Structure 1
Amino acid sequence: MTIKGSCACGSVRFAIEGTPSGLGTCHCSRCRKLGSSSIIFIKREQFSLLEGEGHIETIQPRAPYTYTRSFCRSCGTALGEPLSPDKSFPINAQCLDSDPGIAHSFHEFSEDRPVWDAPLDILRDIHSTPGEPIQ
Protein backbone atom coordinates (compact mmCIF):
# COMPACT_ATOMS: atom_id res chain seq x y z
CA MET A 1 0.00 0.00 0.00
CA THR A 2 1.29 3.45 -0.91
CA ILE A 3 -0.06 6.49 0.91
CA LYS A 4 0.38 9.76 -0.96
CA GLY A 5 0.60 13.16 0.69
CA SER A 6 1.25 16.81 -0.14
CA CYS A 7 1.03 20.38 1.07
CA ALA A 8 -1.89 22.61 0.01
CA CYS A 9 -0.06 24.13 -2.97
CA GLY A 10 1.51 20.84 -4.11
CA SER A 11 5.11 22.05 -3.84
CA VAL A 12 5.91 19.34 -1.27
CA ARG A 13 4.87 15.79 -2.18
CA PHE A 14 5.67 12.55 -0.44
CA ALA A 15 4.82 8.85 -0.33
CA ILE A 16 4.61 6.40 2.56
CA GLU A 17 4.94 2.68 1.91
CA GLY A 18 2.90 0.43 4.19
CA THR A 19 0.77 1.12 7.21
CA PRO A 20 1.79 3.85 9.68
CA SER A 21 2.48 2.69 13.24
CA GLY A 22 -0.08 5.08 14.74
CA LEU A 23 -2.61 7.82 14.08
CA GLY A 24 -3.60 10.20 16.82
CA THR A 25 -4.03 13.71 18.09
CA CYS A 26 -1.63 15.81 20.11
CA HIS A 27 -3.38 18.46 22.18
CA CYS A 28 -0.28 20.44 23.24
CA SER A 29 -0.48 24.14 22.45
CA ARG A 30 2.49 23.96 20.10
CA CYS A 31 0.97 21.32 17.83
CA ARG A 32 -2.39 23.09 17.83
CA LYS A 33 -0.83 26.44 16.93
CA LEU A 34 1.28 24.90 14.18
CA GLY A 35 -1.75 23.21 12.67
CA SER A 36 -0.43 19.69 12.95
CA SER A 37 -2.25 18.16 15.89
CA SER A 38 -3.53 15.10 13.95
CA ILE A 39 -0.45 13.04 13.24
CA ILE A 40 0.64 9.70 11.90
CA PHE A 41 3.84 8.02 13.02
CA ILE A 42 5.93 6.32 10.37
CA LYS A 43 9.32 4.66 10.15
CA ARG A 44 12.14 6.36 8.23
CA GLU A 45 12.33 3.54 5.66
CA GLN A 46 8.61 3.96 4.83
CA PHE A 47 8.97 7.63 3.81
CA SER A 48 9.98 9.07 0.44
CA LEU A 49 10.07 12.80 -0.23
CA LEU A 50 9.06 12.96 -3.91
CA GLU A 51 9.60 16.68 -4.42
CA GLY A 52 9.85 20.00 -2.66
CA GLU A 53 12.69 19.67 -0.16
CA GLY A 54 13.66 23.27 -0.97
CA HIS A 55 10.16 24.40 0.05
CA ILE A 56 10.41 22.89 3.54
CA GLU A 57 11.16 25.25 6.44
CA THR A 58 11.89 23.75 9.88
CA ILE A 59 11.17 25.32 13.26
CA GLN A 60 13.52 24.25 16.05
CA PRO A 61 11.89 23.43 19.41
CA ARG A 62 12.18 25.39 22.64
CA ALA A 63 12.00 23.62 25.99
CA PRO A 64 10.00 21.74 27.07
CA TYR A 65 9.36 20.61 23.47
CA THR A 66 11.81 18.26 21.76
CA TYR A 67 10.46 17.77 18.25
CA THR A 68 11.11 20.06 15.30
CA ARG A 69 8.15 21.00 13.12
CA SER A 70 8.24 21.76 9.42
CA PHE A 71 5.98 23.60 7.03
CA CYS A 72 5.86 24.48 3.33
CA ARG A 73 7.36 27.92 2.93
CA SER A 74 5.20 28.53 -0.15
CA CYS A 75 1.73 27.87 1.32
CA GLY A 76 2.33 27.44 5.07
CA THR A 77 0.97 23.90 5.35
CA ALA A 78 2.22 22.17 8.51
CA LEU A 79 4.04 18.98 7.51
CA GLY A 80 5.21 17.36 10.74
CA GLU A 81 8.83 16.23 10.51
CA PRO A 82 9.53 15.03 6.94
CA LEU A 83 13.27 15.83 7.20
CA SER A 84 13.76 14.09 10.55
CA PRO A 85 16.79 11.79 10.83
CA ASP A 86 14.99 9.74 13.52
CA LYS A 87 13.96 6.11 13.00
CA SER A 88 10.31 7.05 13.60
CA PHE A 89 8.70 10.48 13.23
CA PRO A 90 5.34 12.23 12.86
CA ILE A 91 3.75 13.55 9.69
CA ASN A 92 0.71 15.84 9.72
CA ALA A 93 -2.23 13.54 8.95
CA GLN A 94 -4.05 16.47 7.31
CA CYS A 95 -1.46 16.30 4.49
CA LEU A 96 -2.49 12.79 3.45
CA ASP A 97 -4.09 12.56 0.03
CA SER A 98 -5.05 8.91 0.46
CA ASP A 99 -6.34 6.66 3.23
CA PRO A 100 -3.62 5.65 5.74
CA GLY A 101 -5.38 2.35 6.38
CA ILE A 102 -5.60 2.84 10.16
CA ALA A 103 -8.04 4.45 12.56
CA HIS A 104 -7.40 7.16 15.13
CA SER A 105 -5.88 5.33 18.12
CA PHE A 106 -4.45 7.78 20.65
CA HIS A 107 -4.50 11.24 22.23
CA GLU A 108 -1.51 12.84 23.91
CA PHE A 109 -1.26 15.88 26.17
CA SER A 110 -5.03 15.67 26.67
CA GLU A 111 -4.69 17.81 29.79
CA ASP A 112 -3.66 20.69 27.49
CA ARG A 113 -6.80 20.40 25.37
CA PRO A 114 -8.64 23.74 25.41
CA VAL A 115 -12.06 23.90 27.04
CA TRP A 116 -13.71 24.91 23.76
CA ASP A 117 -12.50 21.70 22.03
CA ALA A 118 -15.52 19.44 22.58
CA PRO A 119 -15.23 15.69 21.99
CA LEU A 120 -16.13 14.87 18.39
CA ASP A 121 -18.77 12.34 19.35
CA ILE A 122 -21.00 15.07 20.84
CA LEU A 123 -20.75 17.44 17.88
CA ARG A 124 -23.12 17.43 14.95
CA ASP A 125 -21.84 17.39 11.39
CA ILE A 126 -22.92 20.75 9.96
CA HIS A 127 -22.74 19.33 6.44
CA SER A 128 -24.70 16.14 7.08
CA THR A 129 -27.89 17.58 5.56
CA PRO A 130 -27.10 19.55 2.40
CA GLY A 131 -28.85 22.88 2.31
CA GLU A 132 -29.82 22.86 5.98
CA PRO A 133 -28.90 26.19 7.61
CA ILE A 134 -26.36 26.15 10.44
CA GLN A 135 -28.08 27.04 13.71
Structure 2
Amino acid sequence: MNKNLSITAFLGITAIILGAFASHSLKEKLTPDAMSSLETAIRYQMYHVLVLLFVNTYQDFSAKLKRTASLFFFLGILFFSGSIYAIYLLGVSAKSIWFITPLGGLLFIIGWLLLFLFFIRKVINKK
Protein backbone atom coordinates (compact mmCIF):
# COMPACT_ATOMS: atom_id res chain seq x y z
CA MET A 1 0.00 0.00 0.00
CA ASN A 2 2.82 2.45 0.83
CA LYS A 3 4.23 1.93 -2.66
CA ASN A 4 0.87 2.85 -4.20
CA LEU A 5 0.56 5.89 -1.95
CA SER A 6 4.08 7.02 -2.88
CA ILE A 7 3.26 6.73 -6.57
CA THR A 8 -0.04 8.52 -5.95
CA ALA A 9 1.73 11.39 -4.18
CA PHE A 10 4.19 11.64 -7.08
CA LEU A 11 1.31 11.80 -9.57
CA GLY A 12 -0.29 14.54 -7.45
CA ILE A 13 2.94 16.53 -7.45
CA THR A 14 3.33 16.18 -11.22
CA ALA A 15 -0.28 17.30 -11.79
CA ILE A 16 0.36 20.48 -9.80
CA ILE A 17 3.67 21.15 -11.55
CA LEU A 18 2.19 20.54 -15.00
CA GLY A 19 -0.79 22.76 -14.18
CA ALA A 20 1.46 25.60 -13.09
CA PHE A 21 3.75 25.13 -16.08
CA ALA A 22 0.82 25.11 -18.50
CA SER A 23 -0.88 28.18 -17.04
CA HIS A 24 2.30 30.25 -16.73
CA SER A 25 4.53 29.12 -19.58
CA LEU A 26 2.33 27.64 -22.28
CA LYS A 27 -0.72 29.89 -22.33
CA GLU A 28 0.79 32.12 -25.02
CA LYS A 29 2.33 29.23 -26.98
CA LEU A 30 -0.64 26.86 -27.31
CA THR A 31 -3.92 27.34 -29.13
CA PRO A 32 -7.03 27.56 -26.95
CA ASP A 33 -8.01 24.02 -28.05
CA ALA A 34 -4.58 22.66 -27.18
CA MET A 35 -4.65 24.43 -23.82
CA SER A 36 -8.11 23.01 -23.13
CA SER A 37 -6.90 19.48 -23.92
CA LEU A 38 -3.89 19.90 -21.66
CA GLU A 39 -6.08 21.22 -18.84
CA THR A 40 -8.37 18.20 -19.26
CA ALA A 41 -5.40 15.83 -18.96
CA ILE A 42 -4.21 17.59 -15.80
CA ARG A 43 -7.71 17.66 -14.29
CA TYR A 44 -8.30 13.94 -14.99
CA GLN A 45 -4.92 13.12 -13.49
CA MET A 46 -5.76 15.02 -10.32
CA TYR A 47 -9.25 13.49 -10.07
CA HIS A 48 -7.76 10.04 -10.25
CA VAL A 49 -5.00 10.88 -7.78
CA LEU A 50 -7.79 11.60 -5.30
CA VAL A 51 -9.51 8.33 -6.21
CA LEU A 52 -6.22 6.48 -5.70
CA LEU A 53 -5.88 8.02 -2.25
CA PHE A 54 -9.37 6.77 -1.43
CA VAL A 55 -8.83 3.29 -2.90
CA ASN A 56 -5.58 2.75 -1.05
CA THR A 57 -6.81 3.95 2.34
CA TYR A 58 -10.39 2.63 2.40
CA GLN A 59 -10.42 -0.13 5.01
CA ASP A 60 -13.22 -2.26 3.51
CA PHE A 61 -11.38 -2.92 0.23
CA SER A 62 -9.45 -6.16 0.03
CA ALA A 63 -5.78 -6.05 -0.89
CA LYS A 64 -6.69 -7.60 -4.25
CA LEU A 65 -9.29 -4.91 -5.03
CA LYS A 66 -6.84 -2.18 -4.00
CA ARG A 67 -4.15 -3.62 -6.30
CA THR A 68 -6.51 -4.16 -9.23
CA ALA A 69 -8.36 -0.85 -9.06
CA SER A 70 -5.10 1.02 -8.48
CA LEU A 71 -3.56 -0.61 -11.55
CA PHE A 72 -6.47 0.47 -13.74
CA PHE A 73 -6.36 4.03 -12.40
CA PHE A 74 -2.55 4.25 -12.66
CA LEU A 75 -2.61 2.98 -16.24
CA GLY A 76 -5.55 5.26 -17.03
CA ILE A 77 -3.50 8.26 -15.92
CA LEU A 78 -0.48 7.05 -17.86
CA PHE A 79 -2.39 6.40 -21.08
CA PHE A 80 -5.05 9.13 -20.99
CA SER A 81 -3.16 12.04 -19.49
CA GLY A 82 0.24 10.82 -20.61
CA SER A 83 -0.76 10.65 -24.26
CA ILE A 84 -2.13 14.20 -24.15
CA TYR A 85 1.09 15.39 -22.48
CA ALA A 86 3.12 13.63 -25.16
CA ILE A 87 1.16 15.40 -27.91
CA TYR A 88 1.21 18.92 -26.47
CA LEU A 89 4.41 18.97 -24.43
CA LEU A 90 6.69 16.65 -26.38
CA GLY A 91 5.36 17.22 -29.90
CA VAL A 92 4.44 13.58 -30.54
CA SER A 93 2.14 13.24 -33.54
CA ALA A 94 -1.46 12.68 -32.46
CA LYS A 95 -1.92 10.43 -35.49
CA SER A 96 0.75 8.06 -34.23
CA ILE A 97 -0.80 7.58 -30.77
CA TRP A 98 -4.49 8.29 -31.45
CA PHE A 99 -5.61 5.03 -29.82
CA ILE A 100 -3.82 5.54 -26.49
CA THR A 101 -6.02 8.34 -25.12
CA PRO A 102 -9.32 6.44 -25.46
CA LEU A 103 -7.62 3.32 -24.08
CA GLY A 104 -6.74 5.36 -21.00
CA GLY A 105 -10.36 6.45 -20.73
CA LEU A 106 -11.45 2.82 -20.92
CA LEU A 107 -9.03 1.92 -18.12
CA PHE A 108 -10.56 4.67 -15.97
CA ILE A 109 -14.03 3.26 -16.67
CA ILE A 110 -12.95 -0.26 -15.69
CA GLY A 111 -11.45 1.05 -12.44
CA TRP A 112 -14.68 2.87 -11.63
CA LEU A 113 -16.69 -0.23 -12.59
CA LEU A 114 -14.73 -2.31 -10.08
CA LEU A 115 -15.59 0.19 -7.33
CA PHE A 116 -19.23 0.29 -8.44
CA LEU A 117 -19.50 -3.50 -8.33
CA PHE A 118 -17.92 -3.61 -4.87
CA PHE A 119 -20.41 -1.12 -3.46
CA ILE A 120 -23.42 -2.70 -5.22
CA ARG A 121 -22.47 -6.09 -3.73
CA LYS A 122 -22.27 -4.47 -0.30
CA VAL A 123 -25.79 -3.06 -0.71
CA ILE A 124 -27.19 -6.37 -1.99
CA ASN A 125 -25.54 -8.39 0.80
CA LYS A 126 -27.07 -6.15 3.47
CA LYS A 127 -30.62 -6.99 2.34
**TM-score range relative to shorter protein:** under 0.3
- For CA contacts below 8 A with separation 6 or more, give which structure has more relative contact order: 1
The structure that is strand-richer by fraction is 1
Query: What's the TM-score once normalised by structure 1's chain length?
Result: 0.20
Query: What's the TM-score once normalised by structure 2's chain length?
Result: 0.21
The structure that is helix-richer by fraction is 2
